[in-house]
Structure 1
Amino acid sequence: MASELYPYPAELDSDDEGSIEYDWENDSQIDDDGLSFDMDRLQIRGGSAVPGTPLSGTPPPRATRPPNNTTAHLCAPPKPLCVACKARSVYKNYVTCSLACIEKLCKDGPVDTTMCTYCHRRTKITGKDQCGETCAENAKIACLLCKVRPRNRRYHLCGKTCKSIATKSTPLILEIPKGHMTYDMVETKFKKGWSAPATRGPQPTISKIYKIIENDEFLRPYELYRQRVGPKESYSCGLCNILKTSFNVDVAKGNGAFGKAIYTSTASNKAFSFCGAAGAMLLTKVVLGKVKQVNGWNEVMSCPPGFDSVVFDRKFGTHNLNETIVYSNDAIRPVFLIIFQ
């Protein structure tokens, strides 16, 4: 059970655990040569046909031409073309014609970049990415990969198909559009974690935020470690440039205040002090397990027996300089990448 001091950040454990139920249908384009009709479901207005029974009796009269002042709708309107290939019509109410084109859309984007990035049916408003208010609102909660369907509950993607496509290219970083609910969540965490006094300078401006997508093999050691030490976690920001291999205690400097370890902080101002104005920062998820509270530097120089992490809650008035230290590579994984102007 998570404590109040170190709350469990469910919004950071999103695409990494459990199954995503809501998904793209198996929408491979139907081959015209193999097209068949289910006659058992055929309904004829004004009569009925019983499966297996031949129709008999007098044939119905030939349809007459409608009067000049009416219109006969004999054919359904043509379906729009797939936004990825522009060669075949879309499947049902999707924007693509097949699973292959869903993947193409996710990787390469639409063929026509003048169209709304959400519905792909109407042109963008000048200076905007969408065609109107409805699509602009839908885009704020859209899947970060395909961008044409709403994300599934607390997940950042819409379904298993998009997750499968994303993990084929891991490690992968997806730029999150400004105004998206995920962008706002990360930006809010950074701002709320900033406690430096105004005399230390203004709060830095975030330029871009990226979602880091990793595969199951990358995340499995973290999940096993979390199950072993318990679900108590904390989100933290840390300076790092490691996306392919995550964190590695072996390359850490041995002269740290609490020994050779991975240092993070729940105080964004503390983490920012290590990366600088034009630097990058990772918002990570960290398994704390059983925490050893310390009151000063060098109080411990390795993970204390019986504990899984060390926390040094150092403050100067309202200025928070908290440090959270873990000694296992499996205790931490990157979730979001923040770039500053």
Structure 2
Amino acid sequence: MFKEGWLHPETVPLVTAIYLASKSELQNSFRGKRFDKWRKKYGNGKFVERFHGTTRLCKVGDSGSELWRCGQAGCYLCSILRTSFDVGKANSKGMFGKGIYTTRASSTNIYTNSNTLSENRAILICRVVANRPERLSKADNEKNGVRAGFNSVEGLTKSDGGGLNYPETVVYWNNAIVPVGLVVYRERSTWQAIKATVGQLLDS
């Protein structure tokens, strides 16, 4: 899923770790239970999987740190890992209003590492109740919900008549999304990756 969602051909990812919540852990957690109720009520029991990149100030997910979560107020990644999402803390100037933004494109990762001490980036895997999206082609910065019959917003890409380079899915309720995994990776230019591959072949 992560590799299929990598849409930036000028770079390639090297995955160093993947952490996933088990089915029992998710079912027995508070955040898992509330998501399950929301999914059944507003998604006909269905959900989609999307990525969410956010500010990371520590080495959570790195070897030696694993899922140790820091207490820094500005490390939004650790805050989400501790307590899940909070739409009240969302950016009020988002293209589709104050909501929780996710994407199928794993390479749209400009926020996935703000810590220069770590070589790695980290991005969340989320389950989202977004099987009935309201498809929007234009920005609506004042939006804070969806019209009747929908449970999410899908921002259309330029190829579909919208204004986005890469797809976005937005929900406006904490219960509509739950983090279920974390992908930790390094990013290299395509040329660096080719050189490394050739070097490995020559060594073998």
* TM-score, normalized by the shorter chain, greater than 0.5: yes
Q: How many residues align?
A: 148
Query: Structure 2-normalised TM-score?
Result: 0.65
Structure 1 residue 248, shift from structure 2 partner: 0.6
**Identity level (%):** 30
Q: State how 1:160-239 maps to structure 2 within 5 Å.
A: 189-196=1-8, 198=9, 201-212=10-21, 213-214=25-26, 215-229=28-42, 230-239=44-53
CA distance in 1, matches of 2:177, 2:4: 21
2:127 counterpart of 1:313: no
Paired letter, 1:207: T
Structure 1 residue 340, shift from structure 2 partner: 1.6
CA distance in 2, matches of 1:194, 1:315: 18
Structure 1 residue 211, shift from structure 2 partner: 1.5
Structure 1 residue 284, shift from structure 2 partner: 0.9
| RMSD after superposition | 2.3
CA displacement, residues 216-252 of structure 1 (integer Å, 9 cap, x when unaligned): 3231110110111123421101124111211110111
Q: State how 1:137-152 maps to structure 2 within 5 Å.
A: none
CA separation of 1:300 and 1:289: change in aligned 2, threshold 3 A: farther
- Structure of higher RCO (CA pairs closer than 8 Å, 6+ residues apart): 2
Structure 2 SS opposite 1:194: coil
Task: Check conservation: 1:195, 1:320, Cα contact below 8 A.
Answer: no
Residue number in structure 1 paired with 2:111: 274
CA separation of 1:244 and 1:299: change in aligned 2, threshold 3 A: closer
Structure 1 residue 304, shift from structure 2 partner: 2.5
Q: State how 1:233-272 maps to structure 2 within 5 Å.
A: 233-240=47-54, 241=77, 242-270=80-108, 272=109
Task: Check conservation: 2:40, 2:46, Cα contact below 8 A.
Answer: no
Structure 1 residue 289, shift from structure 2 partner: 4.5
Residue number in structure 1 paired with 2:126: 284
2:173 counterpart of 1:328: yes
Structure 1 residue 315, shift from structure 2 partner: 4.1
CA displacement, residues 281-339 of structure 1 (integer Å, 9 cap, x when unaligned): 0111111153100002227622123122100121469x960000000101111111111
Structure 2 SS opposite 1:209: strand
Task: Check conservation: 2:127, 2:177, Cα contact below 8 A.
Answer: yes
Query: Structure 1-normalised TM-score?
Result: 0.40
Residue number in structure 2 paired with 1:69: none
Structure 1 residue 274, shift from structure 2 partner: 2.6
CA distance in 2, matches of 1:255, 1:282: 22
